[in-house]
Amino acid sequence: MKTVARSSLLALALVLSLCLSLAFAWRDVEEEVGWRRGQEGGREEWGKGQSSSEGGRPYHFGEESFREWARTRHGHFKVLERFDDELLRGSVGDYRVACLDAAPRAFLQPSHYDADEIFYVKEGEGVLVVLRKGRRESFCVREGDVMVIPAGSIVYSANTHRSKWLRVVMLLNPVATPGSFEEFFPVGGEGPNSFFSAFSDQVLQAAFNSRREEVEKVFEGQRKREIWQASEEQIRELSRSCSRGGRGGGSSGSSKEEEIKPRSLPSQKPLYSNKHGRMHMITGDECRHLRDLDMEVGIANITRGSMLAPRYTTRATKIAVVVEGSGYFEMACPHKTDSSRRAERQERSEHSREEEGEQQQKKSRGYRQVRAQIKEGSVIVLPAGHPATFVAGNEGNLAVICFGVGSSNDEEVFLTGGNSLLKQLDAPAKTLVFGEQGREAADRVIGAQTESVFLAGPQQQQRGGGSVSDM
């Protein structure tokens, strides 16, 4: 053993301790990373321990985390489990993600939610009728649209296409019970029940000024499921009066930004765009309802094989849903969950004699690498302040719809590339931080990436400028 170089012993110890803590703490996590200061020689190294599985918990949710709410032959509605991990509860614990898939010509019975609904049309086209504030508005929606439906609106809708499915991704903001919502059907029967069925006969009779049997027959005697298939003729009739919103002069009072109407996300002027990707955004400035909800909605469309520059948000938490393609995400996460803290404590007491290890524990401020493969339907939560990136796979573009929660005064900060905030370090600071000798190298590294926001990915990279040398 004595013959083994000291440095490799150290590395081995590091890897072993990482593996241990991993085994205890992160059942299905990925890689533990620390920017650890070597004890000897002042050399810094990336301490990475690989583990076999990738999970990205608790920030990543795959298909298995959705539960079916309603399922008929003509469509289904599935809801993601609650964000109830302690690391997420405070920022997004009140919100829910859901997906609706409606078959060609599917009709969705009228209902209301005790939640605001912000949706994105991932695929297909439809008609959406919203009853609220004493009137009816009928909207034609299509792929790429974003729309806000205020809580309590009675909504019915249909897929207007003959052969294509209508697929919608939505974020729900429950208003009655944080983190959970319900759907209320006025008309029911063999499918969902009508909420009227919960009232007594006397009350219904008086309230409708009609015979009980009649009320029952109308509201509780329908044989339709919550999603069923209408005829082509019926769909045509229903969508006859639908529009893209922006009603003309007639109704007074509501300003343009106040209207609810579909807004096409890809038609917004891109916030960033180059050959590696595009980002479009709808904020509270364009839509009052988003502003009221302190939210914004954006889409990052990353070209195949390219990546998003590592970035973080200053205030908003992003709930991202992959709507196209596949790839992976990586995020730096300083937090420990209860279980990992426990495991750490346990481990520490076991090794308390090992002075060296103890010191290392105290000295290092490690960041766990959260990483997961992602594909269509994956949900990723990116908390404020946490540097994170998406990398598109090689088969096609990776498109991610991002619901930004708590977005007022939010700013997205990029950490590499042309608009990297690190470029703002001034010269005296650079000398202080990197040392007289290190300054030049630091400038080189910080300046080497000339693209901004969307960059060539790990497999496309050609390191430029002769700045990388193995000699």
Ligand X SMILES: *[C@@H]1O[C@H](CO)[C@@H](O)[C@H](O)[C@H]1NC(C)=O
Cβ–Cβ under 8 Å, residues 293 and 173: yes
Cβ closest to ligand X, residue 178 vs residue 266: 266
Q: Which parts of 133-282 are beta strand (E)? A: 135-142, 145-149, 154-159, 166-174, 183-184, 227-229, 263-264, 272-274, 277-282
Query: What are the CA-CA distances from residue 321 to residues 310, 333, 398 (Å)?
Result: 18, 20, 11
Among residues 426, 423, 430, the alpha carbon closest in space to that of 450 is found at: 423
Give me the phi and psi of 368, to 5 degrees please.
-75, 140
Cβ closest to ligand X, residue 85 vs residue 376: 376
Cβ closest to ligand X, residue 180 vs residue 273: 273
Minimum Å gap between C-beta 397 and ligand X is 5
Cβ–Cβ under 8 Å, residues 70 and 111: no
Answer for which of 323, 379, 392, 405 binds ligand X (CB under 6 A) is 323
- Amino acid 237 reads E
Beta-sheet pairing, 31-37 with 398-405: unpaired
Query: Distance between CA atoms of 265 and 118, rounded to whole angstroms?
Result: 13
Minimum Å gap between C-beta 402 and ligand X is 12
Minimum Å gap between C-beta 457 and ligand X is 15
Query: Distance between CA atoms of 272 and 309, rounded to whole angstroms?
Result: 12
Greatest C-alpha distance within the chain: 96
Cβ closest to ligand X, residue 32 vs residue 324: 324
- With CB under 6 A, what is the number of residues at the site for ligand X? 7
Minimum Å gap between C-beta 140 and ligand X is 19
Cβ closest to ligand X, residue 118 vs residue 323: 323
The answer to whether 301 contacts ligand X (rule: CB under 6 A) is yes
Cβ closest to ligand X, residue 118 vs residue 299: 299
- H/E stretch holding 375: strand 368-375
Minimum Å gap between C-beta 170 and ligand X is 16
355-414 residues in contact with ligand X (CB under 6 A) are 397, 399
42-101 residues in contact with ligand X (CB under 6 A) are none
Minimum Å gap between C-beta 84 and ligand X is 29
242-271 residues in contact with ligand X (CB under 6 A) are 266
Cβ closest to ligand X, residue 153 vs residue 397: 397
Query: Distance between CA atoms of 461 and 335, rounded to whole angstroms?
Result: 31
Minimum Å gap between C-beta 276 and ligand X is 11
The residues that touch ligand X, with contacts defined as CB under 6 A, are: 266, 299, 301, 323-324, 397, 399
